[in-house]
Amino acid sequence: MARDIVESLEEALHGLQEISPHVMGSAVVTSDGFVVASDLPSEMDEKKITVMAMAMLTLAQETMSELSASDLERVLVESKDSYIVLLNAGPDAVVAAVAEKEAVLGLLLVAMRQTVQRVEGILTA
Amino acid sequence: MDERLNFTAAQQQRIDDCLNTLLAKTRAHGVLLADATGQLIGKAGIANDRKATALSTLSAGSFAATSEMAKFLGRATHFSQHFHEGEDYGIYSATVNPSLLLTVTFDAEAKLGLVRIFTKRAVEELERITAEAQENQDQGDGIDEMMDSEFGQLLADELDSLFAE
């Protein structure tokens, strides 16, 4: 059963890359920064990436709670040549993805929402 | 909750199911549920009883030591999670309530994130079961007290009425 969960999550993350080919890597992490599953290129350090992603998410959540009462929808970081997107996947997990700037942002977000739904389904099954 | 909780057979079965599910979902080596003294309540994945008892006792000792540290730091409450990370093995413990400790042992194959998510869910289920057991026990205590206080008097009254004739 365990192998199924991790493999299913990795499959869902790999599916994201198939839907949106400009995605360079993605991961499912707990809301406090521990890796649940990942589909990252070998040059990316899994632990470092997830901890940095969680630092961004925590900062964004704190900022949102200071500024308004509404819940955080997503975190989007845009650089000259890439995007980093974080989306909540239920109360315990977050899906993080790094994509090239060539990705169409709207399509990337749709693909990520689909992945989030799959991840939520796997974790609650 | 100082006295040891007694679980019904159905509750014990739910505990065993919960531990087995946690074991299966996390790729862990073993899962133990023990009280604060290290007495085992349930286990999954560790066939050797002596090993399981030794591990639960050590885990309870570690928990007691950190609880004392919390007191030194001026905290009234204990630490709710412990995580020991080795090169090849990890041990993750979470408190179900102040007197019950759930311990998960795993190797590098297991993902810590997955262990944390499913341990949290197992703790929620175990909290429900222990709350039910506590409620049953409280009701039982109430009946015992009633029996203690009233039974003697009722018996004496019955005997009096029997021999009065």
d(CA A75, CA A54): 10
> What ipTM was predicted for this assembly?
0.78
Q: Does the residue B147 lie in any domain?
A: no
One digit per residue, pLDDT tens: chain A, 125 residues?
545 798 999 999 999 998 889 999 999 998 888 889 999 888 888 888 888 888 888 888 888 888 876 778 889 999 999 999 999 888 889 999 999 999 999 999 999 999 999 999 999 87
Q: Does the residue B162 lie in any domain?
A: no
Cβ distance A30 to B116 less than 8 Å, yes or no, reads yes
Pick from B25, B26, B113: which is nearest to A29 by CB?
B113
Q: Does the residue B47 lie in any domain?
A: yes
Residues B111-141: pLDDT tens digits? 889 999 999 999 999 999 999 998 888 877 6
- Closest chain B C-alpha to A80 CA, distance in angstroms: 31
d(CA B124, CA A122): 19
Cβ count near B57 (within 10 Å)? 15
CB pairs under 8 A between A and B: 40
Q: Does the residue B156 lie in any domain?
A: no
Entry pTM:
0.79
The domain in which residue B121 lies consists of: 9-136
Split into its structural domains, chain B has a count of 1
Q: Does the residue B148 lie in any domain?
A: no
Q: Does the residue B150 lie in any domain?
A: no
**List of chain A residues whose C-beta atoms are within 8 Å of the C-beta of residue B116:** 30, 32, 34
Phi, psi angles (nearest 5°) of residue A88: -65, 135
DSSP assignment letter at A21: T
Q: Does the residue B78 lie in any domain?
A: yes
Q: Does the residue B39 lie in any domain?
A: yes
The domain that contains B56 carries what CATH number?
A: 3.30.450.30
